[in-house]
Amino acid sequence: MTKIDTNYHVPVLLQESIEGLALSGDSVVVDVTFGGGGHAASILTKISDQGFLYAFDQDVDAVPNAFNASNFKLIQANFRFLKNYLAAEGRQSVDAILADIGVSSHQFDAEQRGFSFRATAALDMRMNQRSGRTAAVLLNEASEEELLRVFNEYSDINNVFRLVQALVRQRTIKPFETTEDLLEVARNLAPKNKEHKYLAQVFQALRIEVNDEIGALKKLLLDATEVLQKGGRIAVISYHSIEDRIVKNYFKKGDFEGRETKDFFGNRVRPFVEINRHPLVPSEEEVEKNNRARSAKLRIAERV
């Protein structure tokens, strides 16, 4: 029996996502967001020794959660390299892919990582702390145009121009180093009685940019198109509208922007057919037990 660490991360929409994969005993499955191993543990109960589960996680903190099982392997890498690593394992195709996109509870709760505005810490926000620029480097070195793009694309903030001006002005006085440095600027621009939501949006936008989360999601969907066998399924759990829109458009149209794609003969090209036309969401009971599940949306599709 595999043991999972629910303190690390509580799996969201667990039953719905695993059932949606329609697994059999010999299924070869990929969990691209291993984390605390909640979804992966459930997958292992659905497959036999003839099946196999590959798990991806770029965060070294997830490594101790790996299972000691003959039909399991944890790959310490970003899921944007899915196809490359599967090829290195001698796998040209798989039967199912699961993705629980976003930040794990552990990453939010590990105050020193800088993901949360509830504690003073270094402005890091990297899911992979071994590479890439931190949120502090982004705030201190990015051009005004780049910062405008980040907050316009990855947040619902209404006063982006004022925020960016204030950030650029502040960094000339003192470079950003900690979450508190950022909060000192952002708090003054937050709408009254909506401070929490505003600050969450500021941190979300920076986190998405630092980790190139949208680029990684798009690469995952493109790779899934190539490595999933016909009839294979992919389940994606997302937590904000930006991600959900990309997944929805790709499943429905085969295009991230939702445009119709056609082949040379004018036939519609769609790599997937939706299993659920509308996203599945957590029950009130699940949200009551795990408040972080409240914004989750699950979309499932089958390779055609």
How far is Cα 127 from Cα 48, in angstroms, rounded to an integer?
Answer: 32
Kindly give the parts of the chain with pLDDT less than 50. 1
| C-alpha of 75 from chain center | 17
Given the structure tokens 């509870």, which residue do they identify? 105
Nearest residue to 202 via CA among 103, 293, 135: 135
pLDDT recorded at residue 1: 44
Which residues, including other chains, have CB under 8 Å from residue 216's CB and lie 6 or more apart? 78, 79, 80
pLDDT recorded at residue 263: 78
Q: How many other C-beta atoms are found inside a 10 Å radius of the C-beta of residue 111?
A: 13
pLDDT recorded at residue 115: 67
Helices (H), the chain: 14-20, 38-46, 82-88, 105-109, 135-141, 144-154, 160-173, 179-186, 195-210, 213-227, 241-253, 284-289
Joined together, the tokens standing for residue 21 give 């994969």
pLDDT recorded at residue 245: 96
| C-alpha of 284 from chain center | 23
Q: How many other C-beta atoms are found inside a 10 Å radius of the C-beta of residue 121?
A: 18
Domains and their CATH numbers in the chain: 14-105+213-303 (3.40.50.150), 129-210 (1.10.150.170)
Number of H helices, E strands in the chain: 12, 7
SS3 254: coil
pLDDT recorded at residue 85: 97
pLDDT recorded at residue 113: 65
pLDDT recorded at residue 269: 81
